[in-house]
Structure 1
């Protein structure tokens, strides 16, 4: 691929509690997944993040999650599909208000944490997310893991799906993310990560944790904003991609 989106999770601070270096991350990425207050973020953080993204020319996306501030959205919530759809729609609406106030708009949706991983296989919750995006209107793209149930449901609903790879995460031989509870889940070597992402763009493959080669179809690459050294990693990944002749540009 000669064009690739680079995205990151931002706006994950809350009150006086700070998470990540959003200002630095926004200098490198083309798309910003802004927390909507359910796993992280609050109205002021959301507004400031949208203002910073608009000033940097970075596309804003809604980073929706289970209602789980205490667990940072990394715990499954056994809610009804209706409740989940309402929660996702609520988050999108809240972020859109802040984005408009900042002179920009929400251009896509990316589920966070446990919700992101659950809708890879959970039919009811996948449909709830799709229903919420359809109810919001505008046919916003959904940023998802390749091969997920959510991607199939979105396609049936005539929503655009954009698949992504994770720069700083390990992969299983089946093309899934290694659980954060397992060794090799998070990668910290920026040079190694950059080399992996160039390879992904050039031939669509990555090396899995067992040393095998796994094929990944991706239109976007995520660098997690809460990973230690993420700002420097995002800078190096972008520089490496551009040096390899790959244009970094938002899919939205």
Structure 2
């Protein structure tokens, strides 16, 4: 995301990509090219054997991110007017695996390369979790993940306190089909619920939907039970 009027054009993005060691332009389209729309020029970028489509460069229309209610280290003056964005999506051959960890990892790495080389990029939005992440926070979390650290659960997922005091994840369902739910009767401290939730996301994000009750050991050594809700959309977290 850039301030209004600050998006790069396709020439600037080409120069940025040419300076990257592990990224290449594998295909390009202009405003009249196949697949072009109101967002104008687009580039197909190759990283780690996977291709991703980048669009929204000037002078075409930028993307407007809306309803990004989970914000992490976003500049104070980057308010409700969210500016304009470029959009980076997995290529068509990755459509079936867009929510798998290897594809998201490559997408996040490519996003970080673009943020580094495009100084006007102030924040990154990850729409499955409705997150808006400040430039430095995004770079640090992706770099830590690529260096062998844990999945960036705070950024590619989020946690919100609901009416009634329950804490619920947002964005985990993109990967697993289910969100975590912490009832405030068992988890009266929201901060403790979020801390446990971050650990659980790291355990769950590489797996699939959980259909049966599962017992785990929490980070403090205490038992934790994950119980699917009746509609299967949530995993209710219980102590013991």
Structure (1/2) with the larger helix percentage? 1
Same fold (TM over 0.5): no
Q: Which has the higher contact order (CA 8 A, sep 6+)?
A: 1
Structure (1/2) with the larger strand percentage? 2
